[in-house]
Amino acid sequence: MINRLKELREDNDLKQNDISNFLKISRQNYSRWELGEQIIPLKRLKEVSDFYKASLDYIMGLSKSNNYHEYKLNRKIIGENITKLRHKYNLSQKQLSEILNTTQSTICAYEKGKTLILTSFAYQICLKFNISLDYLCGYDENSIPLH
């Protein structure tokens, strides 16, 4: 998984402390995200996205261009988009859970909007089904359909 956290920070002449203070987390925790030792939680990824005005797709290396759009992360919309995607490919929750190496109950919780999807699962879905992470996470524009 590619992430451009360090590149964005350095391009803006910021230190890790600057970003960690903005996010109200420890510098060590932020450093682990930059180094790829830990995966940045989706909620934090969206905060970073808004801070830099950089799309989730760009930050995570799913796109070479930065097409930032302001929107709110929405668990319900994410769940609806997962359900639509699953139906489009005629997959059961169990089949999708096997693709993501998780449980059917986890997929069910995501689809019902009870739990925010893990960044790693969202990333895998985007790669597997060739969709935008921003779209999956709630950016709603007809020009970025599930394809």
Token representation of residue 10:
């350095």
Which residue intervals of the chain are DSSP H helices? 5-11, 16-23, 27-35, 42-52, 56-59, 75-88, 93-100, 104-111, 119-129, 133-136
Q: Three-state secondary structure along 31-48?
A: HHHHHCCCCCCHHHHHHH
Decide if 122 contacts 128 (C-beta within 8 A): no
Name the pTM for this structure.
Answer: 0.89
Regarding the domain delimited by 75-136, which CATH topology (the fold level of the hierarchy) does it fall under?
434 Repressor (Amino-terminal Domain) (1.10.260)
Residues of the chain with CATH 1.10.260.40: 5-59, 75-136
pLDDT band at 147 (very low <50, low <70, confident <90, very high): very low
Report, at the CATH architecture level, how domain 5-59 is classified.
Answer: Orthogonal Bundle (1.10)
Please give the pLDDT value at position 143. 37
Q: If you search the block for the tokens 């969709």, which residue do you land on?
A: 131
Pick 142 or 70 by higher pLDDT: 70
Please give the pLDDT value at position 139. 85
pLDDT at 1 over 90: no
Decide if 86 contacts 121 (C-beta within 8 A): no
Query: What is the overall mean pLDDT for the chain?
Result: 92
